[in-house]
Structure 1
Amino acid sequence: MPNFFLRSCGSRSGRIVVGWVLAGLLVAASSGCARTVVEDDPALVDDGRPLVLTTFTVLADMASNVAGEHLRVESITKAGAEIHGYEPTPGDLRTAEQAELILDNGLGLESWFEKFVERVPAPHAVVSANVEPVYIRDDTYAGKANPHAWMSPVVAETYVQNIADAFVTLDPGNADEYRTNADGYVRQLREVGNELEADLSALPDSQRALVTCEGAFGYLARDFDLQEAYLWPVNAEQEGTPQQVVRTIDFVRNNAVPAVFCESTVSDKAQLQVAEDTGARFGGNLYVDSLSDADGPVPTYLDLLRHDARLIADALVGQR
């Protein structure tokens, strides 16, 4: 069994009984919860396929491409949700009790996940296993890995292979199809990577600086030769402090950065101040921790990569 396949215990029927008890306790203790647990929750409808849960929508899209028709893949967090400080609901716990497998990013991304999986005995796999980490350059997080490894399509290939390995372990009878699907998806990732490289190749050396709200682009910067700066390293309680704003203003001025960006799941107020004080353009909001709804600009992970690359390149060369 692969070393990223971390834990499994109890029969499915036993898990469901335990889950109902825990869910009932949480309902009693959490009357103000955002989502009400109801008997006809669609997530509990069994269509005959094993249920795989992911911690956020990007992973769900990756996993769906590898799973094909053999597994039902759902995300615990929904489109537009902030993943770092998410608070699981009793309904999330009850849904997890139906799962045969849970996929999480790891690298410290989901601060809530460790306690969550303690309550459900479904096995889980860490999809960032074997990724070479980029470490955060910030005193508060010194020595910790940047968790946003999926933002580079190069690193995402490792994610896809880990997902395929987890699915083969879960459902060995369809191993060949999972491997084939993974190989096809990796080819698509490489195509997007080539497009991204072409978009960014138009940038002169003096403009190859990516300034964002959250420091979520370390892997992209490493793999595509960009300099990275940000207001804060990881979405947390302290976002857009005066010290962070001043430091970023100095970087933009000292490096003549033509455009700055924020992310779709956080406030862009502080970055707009940076743009105003430096004369840099505000290039727009990038997608990182969440896909959009189906009718939005990034309904899939491949769309997310393409959207961000073109937004960055267009803003930095002055087309936005």
Structure 2
Amino acid sequence: MIVHRLFSLLGLCGLLSVAPVHAQARTLRAVASFTVLADVVTHVGGTHVTVTSLVPPDGDPHEFEPSPDDARQLRQADIVFMSGEGLESWFGRLAHAASYHGQPVIVSSAIQAYTPPGAQQAETDPHVWNSVPNVVIWTNTIRDALIAADPEDADSFRASASAYVTQLQALDQDIRSRISAIPADRRRVLTSHDAFGYYGRAYGVTFMAPQGLSTETEASAGDVATLIRQIHQTGITTYFMENATDPRLVQQVARATGAQPGGELYAEALSPPGGPAPDYITMMRHNTDLMVAAMRPR
């Protein structure tokens, strides 16, 4: 009986000595600047990464105002992801407030930037994710950054990234197929601000907007008048609002042109869970569904 109890105690001690190894398995704390990027990091990181988005769902990444809690999240992060191209103009203030001296991963650095016709050279479009092939580049950049931060889980990151790229490629082909079925002279969309340049370049759609690349800029009366004339000339009949922007300006243009509302696009922020765009792939499908319905000949 004594020998039996001794072996039982030894076995229990063995289990206790093994348990902490599993409890201490490495999980990276990642911070992403906004929800679209956070979703892609989550898909690549899988169970080995917890991801926090600084800008919340339905939040505007141009006009975001960081809070003390955001500074705390940044201080505690193992790895930080930003899109770049001038999107996160507030990050420098946040980094200073958080005494953050790390080097964020800029996921758009390998993407060929798009400058809208007539814009100054410095005015590159930061909305790179609205072209699906650009998010494939994001995915590979995120994969490599996570492997560098956590080499032990490299195989898992590679597998997750590969599976996600397969989904993205299928999404890209589906969008191309659906847009190509629309006559070229009807591929025109009116929306709140100039956030869909990469979508337009990738899929052959012309976007018109009263506001520029950033929601921080204001459209002049002359810009609005010019846009109204263009809409009358091109025959656009539908306008779209965006979930993260003030709708009043595009509604003003719509009243002057007779355009009717076509729904709400998600240009730079996901919806909360349970909404129509809780993840990137669903967001792109939702936007395409609305635009195709508006452009389709009646």
1:48-127 matches, within 5 Å, as 49-118=27-96, 119-127=99-107
Partner in structure 1 of residue 3 of structure 2: none
Partner in structure 2 of residue 279 of structure 1: 258
Cα separation, 1, equivalents of 2:246 and 2:25: 39
1:310 matches 2:284: no
Residues 47 and 81 of structure 1, relative CA distance in 2, 3 Å threshold: farther
TM-score (norm 1): 0.80
Candidates 219, 223, 228, aligned match of 2:202: 223
Cα separation, 1, equivalents of 2:83 and 2:113: 13
5+ long unaligned stretches in structure 2: 1-23
Candidates 138, 155, 159, aligned match of 1:176: 155
Candidates 154, 157, 177, aligned match of 1:198: 177
Q: Which of the pair is proportionally richer in helix?
A: 2
TM-score (norm 2): 0.86
Tell me, yes or no, if the aligned pair for 2:41 and 2:51 is still in contact at 8 Å: yes
Q: Secondary structure at the match of 1:131?
A: coil
How many correspondences in the alignment?
A: 273
- Higher-Rg member (1/2): 2
Tell me, yes or no, if the aligned pair for 2:210 and 2:223 is still in contact at 8 Å: yes
Residues 172 and 83 of structure 1, relative CA distance in 2, 3 Å threshold: same
Q: Secondary structure at the match of 2:272?
A: coil
Query: Residue type matched to 2:170 in 1?
Result: E
1:105 to partner: Cα distance: 0.5
Q: Per-residue CA shift, 1:75-111, capped at 9, x if unaligned?
A: 0111111111211111111111110111000000011
1:19-58 matches, within 5 Å, as 49-58=27-36
Q: Per-residue CA shift, 1:104-142, capped at 9, x if unaligned?
A: 000000111123234313331001011011113455x55
Cα separation, 2, equivalents of 1:94 and 1:47: 23
1:136 matches 2:116: yes
1:315 to partner: Cα distance: 1.2
Q: Per-residue CA shift, 1:122-181, capped at 9, x if unaligned?
A: 331001011011113455x55321000001111111111111111011111111211111
Partner in structure 1 of residue 12 of structure 2: none
5+ long unaligned stretches in structure 1: 1-45
Cα separation, 1, equivalents of 2:115 and 2:83: 16
Query: Residue type matched to 1:172 in 2?
Result: P
